[in-house]
């Protein structure tokens, strides 16, 4: 315990600290010490730092080459994909146009056939109407009776043949 108290007592006998001010002794100041330490660090550390920087630069260049290669691949693949899609779209458009042309031709043919059938029906109706008018104008009672008698005679002749 005596040692502990002696150490506290000895602290009380230290001379008081000096005041703040400029130290004019250049050898005892920090700028020389710092310049020596910095000089040693630069001299011995520049190789290590340079090697690390070169290594990082090479890694960055390798990444850049890889990214450029991937970008070129994406660009080429993108262009080929665009060309493929363009050709598919063109082919699809041609097929659609061909189908529309076929539908148009079928529609025209159907309408022509329908028009021809309507004309035929109209001509047939007019011819039938004309024939009926001709028969009605030419047919009188005497001709009508002769026609009936002739038909009865033919039926009688047919009956005799079959008997």
- pTM of the entire structure? 0.41
- For the segment 100-145, what is each residue's pLDDT rounded down to a tens digit? 999 999 999 999 999 999 999 999 999 999 988 887 777 677 777 8
The structure tokens 């029906």 sit at: 121
- Give the pLDDT score at 9: 47
Is residue 55 within 8 Å of 61, Cβ to Cβ? no
CB neighbours of 46 closer than 8 A, spacing ≥ 6? none
User: From CA 147, how far away is CA 156, in angstroms rounded?
Assistant: 14
Which range (27-36, 78-87, 144-153) has the least confidence? 27-36
Q: Hey, where are the domains in the chain?
A: 28-162
Output the CA angle 131-137-140, nearest 5 degrees. Answer: 120
Rounded average pLDDT over 57-76: 92
- Give the pLDDT score at 11: 47
């Amino acid at each position: 315990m005596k040692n502990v108290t002696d150490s506290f007592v000895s602290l009380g006998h230290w001379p008081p600290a000096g005041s703040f001010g400029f130290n004019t002794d250049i050898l005892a100041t920090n700028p020389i010490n710092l310049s020596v330490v910095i000089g040693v660090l630069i001299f011995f550390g520049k190789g290590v730092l340079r090697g690390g920087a070169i290594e990082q630069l090479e890694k960055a260049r390798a990444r850049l080459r890889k990214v450029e290669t991937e970008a070129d691949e994406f660009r080429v693949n993108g262009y080929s994909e665009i060309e493929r899609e363009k050709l598919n779209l063109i082919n699809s458009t041609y097929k659609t146009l061909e189908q529309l042309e076929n539908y148009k031709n079928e529609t025209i043919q159907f309408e022509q056939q329908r028009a021809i059938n309507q004309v035929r029906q109209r001509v047939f109706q007019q011819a039938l109407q004309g024939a009926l008018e001709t028969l009605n104008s030419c047919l009188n009672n005497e001709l009508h009776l002769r026609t009936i008698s002739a038909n009865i005679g033919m039926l009688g002749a047919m009956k005799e043949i079959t008997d």
